Amino acid sequence: MDLGLKGKVIAVTGGGSGIGEGITRACLAEGARVVILGRVTAAVRQLMEEVNQKGLPCELVEMELADTRQCRTAIDHIQAKYGELFGLVNNAGANDGIGLENGTPERFMESLQQNLLHYYALAQFALPLLKASVGAIVNISSKVAMTGQGGTSAYAAAKGAQLALTREWAAELLPYGIRVNAVVPAEVMTPLYQTWLKTVGDPEKELSRIKSRIPLGHRMTTIEEIGALTAFLLSPTMSGHTTGQHLSADGGYVHLDRALT
């Protein structure tokens, strides 16, 4: 299926690992030019070595997303180098476990800066380019925004805000034809998820328990599935009339009757 993304410039925050890697690979497979924004890790270096060897149009801009000045510099770089930007995928973030009992107002605000502020900053700085391209924004949220989890107030607040901003921006940007949608993953195997599993007493037992509660196939959602859905939502041809939507890619984990598990 041709999603109409060939040659289009798409910025993906945290696009070098985990869910972001799945999004980057999906967009590259459609012929897009991907600009990864975020920190450099071993996984990011490995991905960049691979795409460079294959000659794929993918660039890494090393930056600290929590710094709004660096967000502006990154968008200025894209404008100077490419002269355009069609898609912005706000993806980077981490569940840092800042809860109501174990946190402080200061840590809460720090977490929002890490997980939420760059969604707004990049969208605002990129807006002139997105207007010119009649582009699209996809915000990657989390099922925690809908279900709660316990012990993670700041992350839940950020993820809930991302869903609210998706609808707000979809409304505000209607005059420009810019579509804004959100993907809501639940249980996806990523490096961060693997790190969390190592903190529980019996990782294999815990993983089996989680899988057993996922109705469709009793398995985790893959980063490839999240990437494919994100690429579809970016598509001006296949999802050109889709905006303001929150799409759950989770095997029915959140919305289906608990009796099914």
Give residue-wise pLDDT tens across range 75-114.
Answer: 999 999 999 999 999 999 999 999 999 999 999 999 999 9
Catalytically active residues, by annotation? 155
Q: Which residues contact 46 (CB under 8 A, 6 or more apart)?
A: none
Write the burial class of residue 82 (CB in 10 Å: 0-12 exposed, 13-18 middle, 19+ buried): middle
**Model pLDDT, residue 200:** 81
User: Confidence class of residue 57 from pLDDT cuts 50, 70 and 90?
Assistant: very high
The Cα–Cα gap between 58 and 44 comes to 12
Arch. (CATH architecture) of 9-186+223-250? 3-Layer(aba) Sandwich (3.40)
Domain ranges of the chain: 9-186+223-250, 189-220
The CB density around residue 212, as the number of other CB atoms within 10 Å, is 10
The residue length of the chain stands at: 261
Which tokens belong to 102?
């174990």
**Model pLDDT, residue 196:** 76
The Cα–Cα gap between 56 and 54 comes to 5
- C-alpha of 207 from chain center: 23
User: Confidence class of residue 117 from pLDDT cuts 50, 70 and 90?
Assistant: very high
Q: How far is CA 229 from CA 139, 160, 222, in A?
A: 12, 20, 11
Q: What is the pLDDT of residues 123-149, one digit of tens each?
A: 999 999 999 999 999 999 999 999 999
The Cα–Cα gap between 102 and 207 comes to 26
| Global confidence as pTM | 0.95
Buried residues in 223-260 as b, exposed as e (16+ CB within 10 A): bebbbbbbbbbbbbebbeebbbbbbbbbbebeeeeeee
**Model pLDDT, residue 189:** 87
Stretch 208-235: mean pLDDT: 96
User: Confidence class of residue 224 from pLDDT cuts 50, 70 and 90?
Assistant: very high
Q: What is the pLDDT of residues 152-204, one digit of tens each?
A: 999 999 999 999 999 999 999 999 999 999 999 999 988 888 887 888 878 88
Q: What is the pLDDT of residues 62-72, one digit of tens each?
A: 999 999 999 99
